[in-house]
Structure 1
């Protein structure tokens, strides 16, 4: 599997994107939600964190599947947003391990898979492994917020 990072957004264009968010979705809020973001690419992690924090969410960052699993076992997590293609253990392995945890508060975390692949195979594998949603990179802010709020409500 190859890893393609999100399209690089300049700080200026990212701010424009946040400012121009569709007002019809302003009712959706990530306030009081702790969201675990997992991606081996630091730029992608930071961009996702900015997007989630802009909507009021608290973000926990993990650079690997092992870090993410540790977070799931130690912290109360409301939703997981994870890249699929990571070195070592990938997102598929991560979600299978999370779904195998003994506590329902850990094993039933709502989960969104991220990938830059348009392949239906990636989407089908992600959903079969235990993710509830599959989003393409680069992630649209409105689409991400909608997906998270749908899963946690």
Structure 2
């Protein structure tokens, strides 16, 4: 079974009357869409009342008014669903950022305690570093890094940006 094909042909016209008519109609329908959007957002009139008002105010037929209403309702429905999806994505990003911040804060705090213990050993206040303190980051800069920050400094910068 073959499916039906549809084709669209595009051409330019040199007929001044047709170009003028189409330009005027486009401007009229644009104004009708804006007016319909305002009416739908106010939610004071039913769809049939909006249809009648569009027909009377813009001198269009019922089929054109119905298509304008359907077009605007589709845009409103799409905007609402996109807004819900966007809020859902933002909540996911916020949840992930808070988890990353908590994890980085713990790791940086542990490494800071380790660095303080190393400093105390270097000053001679302690003989050795306690076993429970271990370095969380390497002191060396990673190979081929352009910013020359140690991994500890990179983690601090990352934490700063995540908190922002």
Q: TM-score, normalised by structure 1?
A: 0.19
- Structure 1 or 2, whichever has the larger Rg, is 2
Question: Quick one: higher RCO (CA 8 Å, sep 6+), 1 or 2?
Answer: 1
Structure with the larger helix share: 2
Structure with the larger strand share: 1
